[in-house]
Structure 1
Amino acid sequence: MSISPTARFHRMTIESPLGPITLVGDEKHLHAIHLIEPTSLDALSTSPSRPLSQAVEQLGAYFAGTSMDFDLDLLAQGTSFQHQVWDALGTIPFGTTTNYGSIAAMIGRPRAVRAVGLAIGANPLPIVVPCHRVIGANGSLTGYASGLEHKRFLLDHEQRVLHDHRSPRERPAH
């Protein structure tokens, strides 16, 4: 993420079940979520902005299992292709997974599976733009910028939340 010297960016680090998460935004948008502590953001203001405060609240609800959706003003820097991929990620329902080939087909580029994988890996807004819901065609967990243990945690978390929100009649018998 390149940061304009004239923009007034803010950062906020919160604790989560994944460890520290650093949020970066300006007065209007959330720009990035870092699941691995970044070292290059020390110069940014730590005063809270509305987008950061909203992100903290909504991530808290996500991890508490009380919310399955995000409603945040996002502004991610990327190419038009990356934005197509990231937009497609936003359509993957909570608690479900898809694969790279399906995302490529969804954006009308079925042969661009590797490029889709690179775009997913460049997603600056993990969790909110749910790249963790993309797995290999064979069902295996593949690539996640902050590590497969974080990806597994997020997928398991969403399954637990879905299970807890089903009525007793909808839950599978054990």
Structure 2
Amino acid sequence: MTPDLDRLAARLALAADEAGQLDVAFTTVASPVGPLLLAATEQGLVRLAYAAEDHDTVLQSLADRISPRVLHAPARLAPAARQLEEYFAGHRTSFDLPLDLRLSSGFRRDVLDRLRDVAYGTTASYATLAAAAGSPRAVRAVGSACATNPLPVVVPCHRVVRSDGALGGYVGGAEAKRTLLTLEAAA
């Protein structure tokens, strides 16, 4: 877009937000693990997606599951973008953002709650998380919860590894998981 169109789009997004006509705001940010899509409702950050997830598909899913009123509105996401930038620069070890976890429920939501207890620079096994979530035999279900985590990086599913120490899967791909764990180990 041209600078004039950028300014117009920003003004329209702000006006829609102020009028209560913006249900899901989104933006993309550059990162060492590729472009990340950030989306937020008025309640908080609702989605963070890797390019491998296809940002257009993610936006359509948000329109289907939350509201069709989805708009590129970076202002609402400025705090999240800033905290992610600080994290990737090695200056932040946890996120202090309001989160909207409506895209997860039941056992998956319990797992997400436990993921936030896995400290920066450490890892936990899928089995450990299953036990912490109250279902020690639900190791595969923990893997499924991590794979469908709507807020990877912020809700740190990349810190979950197999019991034998192998990385295991990751929504952003093995290289992204390795990059995040290396970043945290260097701190």
**Which TM-score band (shorter chain)?**
0.7 to 0.9
Runs of at least 5 residues in structure 1 that lack an aligned partner in the other structure? 1-5, 162-174
**Which among 3, 7, 10 is matched to residue 25 of structure 2?**
10
Q: Counterparts of 1:120 and 1:47 in 2: how far apart (Å)?
A: 28
- Contact 1:30/1:73 (<8 A) preserved: yes
Stretches (4+) displaced over 3 A: none
Structure 1 partner of 2:84: 59
Q: CA deviation at 1:11?
A: 0.8
Runs of at least 5 residues in structure 2 that lack an aligned partner in the other structure? 1-20, 61-67
Q: Counterparts of 1:81 and 1:49 in 2: how far apart (Å)?
A: 33
Q: Counterparts of 1:142 and 1:155 in 2: how far apart (Å)?
A: 13
Q: CA deviation at 1:28?
A: 3.1
**Which among 143, 160, 174 is matched to residue 134 of structure 1?**
160
**Which among 37, 47, 51 is matched to residue 32 of structure 1?**
47
**Which among 116, 119, 125 is matched to residue 145 of structure 2?**
119
- The structure in which a higher percent of residues are helix is 2
- Aligned-pair identity in percent equals 42
Q: Counterparts of 1:16 and 1:160 in 2: how far apart (Å)?
A: 17
Q: CA deviation at 1:120?
A: 1.1
Deviations 1:118-147 (A, max 9, x none): 111110000000000000100001000110
Q: CA deviation at 1:7?
A: 6.1
**Which among 128, 131, 136 is matched to residue 110 of structure 1?**
136
Q: Counterparts of 2:168 and 2:126 in 1: how far apart (Å)?
A: 10
Aligned residues: 155
Q: Counterparts of 2:37 and 2:110 in 1: how far apart (Å)?
A: 25
Deviations 1:44-103 (A, max 9, x none): 3112343x1111010000001111110010012112211100000000000000100000
Q: Counterparts of 2:22 and 2:104 in 1: how far apart (Å)?
A: 17
Confirm whether residue 74 of structure 1 aligns to residue 62 of structure 2.
Answer: no
Calculate the TM-score normalised by the size of structure 1.
Answer: 0.84
Cα RMSD (Å)? 1.5
Q: Counterparts of 2:43 and 2:100 in 1: how far apart (Å)?
A: 9
Q: Counterparts of 1:111 and 1:93 in 2: how far apart (Å)?
A: 23
